[in-house]
Structures are given as C-alpha cells and as structure tokens.
Structure 1
Amino acid sequence: MANFLQKPLIDPAKSPIFYGYVILFIGTIGIYCSIPGQTIGVSVFTDPVKDALGLSRNQFSNAYMIGTIVSSLVIGRAGVWFDVYGARYVAFFAAITLGVTLFLCSWSAIMSSYIKELLSIDTWMIPFGLMTVLFFMLLFAGQGVLTMASRNVIMIWFDKNRGKVNSFSSVALSFGFSSSPLWVNALIEGYGWESTWQFLAIGLLVFSVFIYTFYKISPEKHGLLPDGAKSLSSDEKEKKVLPKQFTLEEAKKERAFWMYGLTLAFNSFFITGLTFHVVSIFTHEGFVKEDAIAIFLPGSMVAVTVSTIFNFLSDYLPLKLYLFLMLLGGFLASLGFLFLSTAVGVPMLIAGFGILGGFFAVLNAVAWPRFFGRAHLGSITGKIMSFLILASALAPSIFSLCLSTFGSYQMVGYLGLAFLVFLVIGSIKANNPQKKNDF
C-alpha cells in the first residue's frame, strides 16, 4: 500500500508539453475550488444559515472571526508540511478536509438541534460554538492550505516566466471568484443552502483525485528545469547567480517580508469586510441591494486589467513599484468608502478595491519566490497566509462593531487611511532582499 501511494501515476518528464503548463491549469482549478472556504463563498450563505441556526448577524460574524483567528494561528504549520511533503499530499488532504467540512456545514442546523435536545439546553451558544469550529475547518482547509499549496506549486514550476503564467491564472481566477456568488446564490435559491453545500462537497472530493494525480512538487525532482528550459549552456551557468534560499527566520528579519505581508493583509481585511457587509454598507448610505452587488463586476474588470498587465511586466519591473501602486489603490478605496454617498464615492471605491485586488494577485504569487527563493517557500508563504487569514477574520466583526458603535461604517475608512500612511512610511526601505538596491 505504501509503495502504491509513493508511485507516481504520471511522469512529468514524459509529458509531450512542458509539465508546468499542466500544473498551471490544474493548480488554477485548485485555487478556484477553494471558493467554498473563502469569504466570498461563505458570505452567500450568511443570511439563510444564521436564520436557520437562530443566530444574529453579530453572533454569526463573531463565530466567523474566532474560527478564522484560530485558523491563522495554525496555518503556518501547513506551510512546513508543504516544504516537507510537497504540494501533492498537502493539497490532496486539504481538498478532502474541505469536502468533509462542507458536508458537516450542510448538517449544521440538524446537529445544533440534536445537541440542544441531548443536553436539554436551548441556547445560542450551541450553534455559535458549532459554527466557530466549522468556520475554522473551512478557512484552514480552503482559504489557507488548498490555496497556498495550489498557488505555490504553480510558482515553483516557473522562474523567468513566473509573472506571465501568473497573469493567465489571475485572469481566470478573477472572473471565477467574482462570478461565484451569482451561481452559488442561484444554487441556494434553487435547491436550498444544505444541498448547495453538499453539491460543493462532492465537487471537492472528486477534484481531490485530480490533485493526487497531477500535482508535482518541482521540475527538478523530475529531471526538468523551470520554464521548460532544455538545459543551461556553459556560459549561462557561469553567469547565473543562484538566489539565496531564505529560511522563514531569515525572511522575518527583512523589512520587505513585513511591509509586503501587511499590505496584502490590508487587502484581505478591506475586501473581506466589504464583501461580508456590502448590502448593509450600501443601504446605510441610501442605496438598494442591487447597487451594492453591482460594484463587484466593474471592480473585477479593474482587477483583471491590472493583474494581467502588471503580471506580464513583473518579470521586468521592480516589485517595489507595485507595492506603492497597491497602496495607492488602498487610499482610493478608503476615500471612496468615506465619500460613498457622493458622486465620486462609488467610482473611487470600485477603482480602489479593483487596484488592490489586481496587485494582490501579482504580489502574493510573485514576490515570495523572487525575494526569498523556492527552498522554503511553503513555510514563508504559510506565515504570510496567517497574516491574510487573521486580517480576514477580524474584518467582519470590526466592520460590524463600527456600525453598532458609531451608527455608520465610516470609521473603517479612517482606520484604513491611518494604517496605509504607516505602510507607506515603512515601505520606503522595503527593498528586495536578493538585491538590496532594487527599487
């Protein structure tokens, strides 16, 4: 049995095309399949699930926050697993775990009622505790491990063309993620939230077979070179400077690690909070539900355009320029949030979160292998993923707290502007660790 599990079902060296393109295709699908464990996938279920469980919006948001915070505390370990066991096994078990968790989510109302009857207690704490555990499992397996392993395995198979291949993946994922609330909501309205989660679970379990079959950890393990290069000439070997392979502890000593990581975390915070409360945010400013939902399509178009252009250019341009452009998107989004009721508010918000999302797709994939090498990419990106998950965990409750405390969401805009000023100042010297004078 052990020999069977170790035996490769497909040999990349015998592929008629460079196997990295197979990895690009299947890895992109892998990230897309994490949608049920992402905020954009969970948020569609918020109203029907909280009503079925008898939870208020604040209680449901807090369950999400606690479960996600716990996930952020342990996701770094999954990065170490990636470095030790490879993408194949880590992504496979993440997909299995996510599929099983979705089945449990579909039975959450039944389980809550059963526990209440068993304990002879009728309290909101039971569904609250149950959803906290399920949110932890969803975010850890989906937003965390499956996403990280699928993105990393694509980046590992490419070097010089890393930005170009990431552009194709980013475009597909931008349209896929932005359209997912529409078809998930259609399934919920047609079949109910329980059956929808079960459909998604079956899809994850089926896809786990493809992960086990096609995911491969690196080209070198199969006698290949990144980008499909045949070989390096003697002159190229002499000129080629091998990048330093940073460990996680070494990476954490570099300013770029923190500034890029915190900027990406800001994106996760802002987009998660906006997505989770978008209808409430817009209705408090005098808009209708349709106006709120309508911002995602143009925002996605901006994100796709930005990610496509700058992914291609990332193979030639310094990433520090990208960092400041992403921060500019953050300023636009925060100002649009503050002036949402004015004529310029909605366009600024759309442009801002579109720019944020576009550069997030570039930097979160390209920056880490360029800055710190590929040898310890799992542990480094696992730590960064903990920042992103923690930020997304705090967002719904902080947004909700601002509303309940100040009567509007505008305080979020002021907090965002203050944090962005800190990031701009801190990023002035956040240079590429491989090349300290890299602007």
Structure 2
Amino acid sequence: MSNPIKLSLVNPQRFPFFYGYVVLIIGSIGILASIPGQTIGVSVFTDPVKDALGLTRNQFSNAYMIGTLLSSALVARAGVWFDAYGARYVAFFATLLLGASLLVFSVSVEISETIKRALNIQSWSVPFLLITLLFFLIRFSGQGVLTMASRNMIMMWFKKNRGKINSISSITVSLGFSSAPILLNWLIDDHGWAMSWQIMALSLFIFCICILQLYRNRPEDFDLLPDGAEKKELDQEAEEIETHFTLKEAKKTRAFWMFGLVLAFNSFYVTGFTFHIVSIFGSQDYTKSEAIAVFLPMSVIAIFVSTLCNILSDYINHKIYLFIMLLAGVLASLGLLILSQPIGVYFLVGGLGTMGGLFAVINAVTWPSFFGRKHLGYISGKVMSFLVIGSAVAPSLFSYCYTSLGSYKYISYITLTFLLFLIVGSIGVKKPQ
C-alpha cells in the first residue's frame, strides 16, 4: 500500500493501544452492515415486496436465485481485489453499492410501472428482471464482498488470539443478525418497506465515511505485528513453519472441500429456511410472530456455541467442529421433517443454532489457520462463492417443494442425503499446515 491512511485522520501507529481492537469493533459493525444484502434482511421484505410487484412466491424466489447465482461468479474475484487493494477500499465500494442498490429497490415498483408504460406491455417479466438485477447487486455487495472484507480484516490483525477475538465478534454479529428480523419488521410496520430501505441506504452512506476513517488492511502496513506483539517477542521459528497456501494448492486438500461444502450447506439450509420462515411455520398453523420468534433461541444457542468453540479453536483440532456441524445439520433436517410435532421445533432451533455458531468459527478462523494469511482473500473469496451458490438455489428449491409437493418436509430428504456424503468424505480430513 503506497499510502494506507489516505483520506483518513487515523494512524494506527499513534494509538495508545493496539489498533487491532478498533479493527475488531469496526469490522464487526461492517458485517452487521451487510444485513440488507443477507437473506435474514431480505426475508422480512419478501411478502410485501412480491405483492407490490405482482409476483408469485416462485417468481420472487427464482429472481433471488438468479441474482444470487450471478453474484457468485464475481465473489471469488472480490477475494483477488481484497489481496490486491485491501479491506478498506473493497469494503468502501461494496457499502456504497449496497446503499445505492437499496435506494433503487425502494422505488422498484415505480420503475417497473414506468418501463411497462414505455414498452406498452403488462407482463410479470418486467418486475422479475428488475429485481433479479437488484438482487444481484445487493447479494454481491452485501452478503459477498462487505462480509468477506470485514471478516478477513479482523483475522489479519490477529493470529495467536484469533479464536478469542472472533468469539467477541461472533457474539456481536449473532445478536445483530438474530434481532434484525424483529427490528426490520418493526421498521416496515411503522414506515413501509420502501421507506425502510431508504433509511438503511442512508445509514450505509454514513458508514462509508467510517470505513475510510477506521478500516485498516493489516498491521504490517504500519510496522505493527498481529496481536500487538513486539518484534522481539515474535517467534521466528513459528513464522517459518507456517505455510501460505495459494488457492490452487488449497484446492488440492480434502480439508478445503469438506469445510467449504459444509459451510455451503449451512448457507443453503439457513437461506431457504429464513427466506420462507413465515410460510414454513404457517403451513403448520403458526403465526408470523411465532415464526420470527424462533430467531431468539437460535441466537442464544449460536452465541454460546460460537463463544465456546472460538476460544477452544486456538487449542484444538478444527476437524471436531466439522463433525459437530454435520450432526447439527442432520438435527435441523430432521426438525423440518417432523415440524408437525412439537419436538420438530426444538430440533430445528437446536440444529440451526449450533450450525450458526460453528459457521462463525469455521468461516473466520479456519481458513487463515489452515492456509495462512498471504492469499486469504482469494481462498475465502472462492469459499464465499460456494456459500453464495448454496444460498441462491435454496429459496427456489424450498418454494417448489411446497408448491409442487405440498410440503417443505421433502427438502429434508435432499439435505440428509448430502450430509451423509459429507460425513463419509470428512473422515480423512487433515489440517494442511
């Protein structure tokens, strides 16, 4: 970096304490800022927006799928941008794009009607194509780039204490994500869905200024070391032992694929469940409020699991987390299968909460621990493309199971089969370092 503090008044070298703790706070806020582009942020808008645009549930889900799939093609490239330009500029432009996309989304009905009048056609294809483009923009900038850049930046500033630091970030993010549906639902009830998106867009534009002032790419840019260590304290032998894998080298290991695919499964299942949560519980005679309320116990479990496992991650083999996450996926799948029974809700909440907690650990701590920091952006960007693809196909697959087969439970047969494949494939996983 020629000038790592350009356009900023903040210099990490002059801070009275280690600047990594500032990075921890602002990076965690950055992950929370991606909520409008995450499924948990979109799901609350699903019913009012599809009705306003005159789209069916399947059409809306398909637009979400296509837009998300298109974004997956560019997410891996964003990892290259992260390695080349750093978290600061990548996160800034991602946040700017996300905010601008939400503004356009807020007037999507007006834009759709204008296009229909100009072309003299009355077809669902106009709003469908419009929101497909908008879903591409918010999924790429929010779920993909902003999340990846913010999380990787935190991990760049810490090494020995990565797990402990990530536990703090995970608690903040879990609380924010779990409360988001409730807060967004309140915002929509009070101001309408269009104004709610405009309020979020304005908040993102303000956060852009915070990014330029406080985001910093890595401690070495300021002659600092991870964890705030002094140069004389640096364990040279440990540094020499650590290997920095390229993406090509990482893809040759079984660990890359098994950990990447279990994260993709989590993204698939959580996205499909969250996107249709009101409909899923409604099919079993639960109210909208009761459906949204399950996020609270899920977040409590996720926070407990992520805190404990983050702290232990500095000392134990991450392969244990892989198998726990797979078993949690089995539990969640069984929960959806028997949701008509009260125990099904407990299975769903327990399984999804455990998966969510472990996702926060594996997606942040495992990649730098397994493959080093030098090519972290490229490697995590590739993994992020797996997650985006998983989240892309989930809403449509869930929707078709319900509209064509009459129940969401049939999705469980697919997920349980996939999990069995991952369990068998994960037996031979070893840490690459």
Query: Same fold per TM (> 0.5)?
Result: yes
> How far does residue 279 in structure 1 lie from its aligned partner after superposition?
1.6
TM-score, reference length from structure 2 = 0.97
For residue 322 of structure 2, give the secondary structure of its aligned residue in structure 1. helix
Unaligned runs of 5+ in 2: none
Residue in 1 that maps onto 2:377: 378
Secondary structure at the counterpart of residue 415 of structure 1: helix
Shift, 1:187, TM fit: 1.1
**Distance in 2 between the 1:283 and 1:217 partners?**
45
Q: Structure 2 matches for 1:15-414, cutoff 5 A?
A: 15-233=15-233, 236-238=235-237, 240-414=239-413
Give the deviation of 1:231 after TM superposition. Answer: 2.2
TM-score, normalised by the number of residues in structure 1: 0.96
Q: Distance in 1 between matches of 2:5 and 2:424?
A: 50
- Deviation per CA, 1:137-161: give whole Å up to 9, x if none: 0000000000000000000000000
Q: Structure 1: how far apart are the matches of 2:149 and 2:414?
A: 32
Quick one: distance in 1 between partners of 2:404 and 2:184? 32
Unaligned stretches of 5+ residues in structure 1: 435-439
TM-fit CA distance, 1:4: 11
Q: Structure 1 pair 239/362, CA: closer, same or farther in 2 (3 Å)?
A: closer
CA distance in 2, matches of 1:284, 1:187: 26
TM superposition shift of 1:8: 5.0
Shift in Å at residue 414 of structure 1? 1.1
TM-aligned CA distance change 1:215 to 1:242, over 3 Å = farther
Residue type matched to 1:416 in 2?
Answer: T
| Letter matched to residue 368 of structure 1 | W
Give 1:349's aligned amino acid.
Answer: L
Q: Note if contact 2:68-2:392 (Cα within 8 Å) is conserved in structure 1.
A: yes
SS in structure 2 of the partner of residue 55 of structure 1: coil
Q: Distance in 1 between matches of 2:7 and 2:97?
A: 23
For 1:274-313, what per-residue CA distance to the aligned partner results, in whole angstroms no more than 9, with x for missing partners? 1111121122223333332221111111111100111111
Would the aligned equivalents of 1:50 and 1:57 in 2 still touch at CA under 8 Å? yes
**Could you say which residue in structure 2 is the equivalent of 1:437?**
none
* Displacement of 1:239: 5.2
Change in 2 beyond 3 A, CA 1:4/1:390: closer
- Shift, 1:232, TM fit: 3.4
The residue type equivalent to 1:297 in the other structure is L
Distance 1:380 1:23 in 2: 21
Residue 345 of structure 1 deviates from its aligned partner by 1.0
Q: Is the 8 A contact 2:178 2:295 kept in 1?
A: yes
- After TM superposition, what 4+ stretches of structure 1 lie above 6 angstroms from structure 2? 2-5
8 Å CA contact 1:155–1:366 kept in 2: the answer is yes
* CA offset digits 1:89-147 (Å, max 9, x no partner): 00000010001001000110110011011111111000000000000000000000000
**Deviation at residue 330 of structure 1 after TM alignment:** 0.5
Q: CA deviation at 1:334?
A: 0.6
Native 8 Å contact 2:90 2:145 kept in 1: yes
In the superposition, relative to structure 1, how do residues 201 and 14 fare at CA in structure 2: closer, same or farther (>3 Å)? same
Give the conservation status (yes or no) of the 8 Å contact 2:71–2:139.
yes
The answer to which of 259-268 and 244-253 deviates more is 244-253
What is the number of equivalent residue pairs in this alignment? 432
Q: What do you get for the CA RMSD once the two structures are aligned? A: 1.5
Please list the CA deviations of residues 251-271 of structure 1 after superposition, one character each: whole Å capped at 9, or x if unmatched: 111111110000001111111
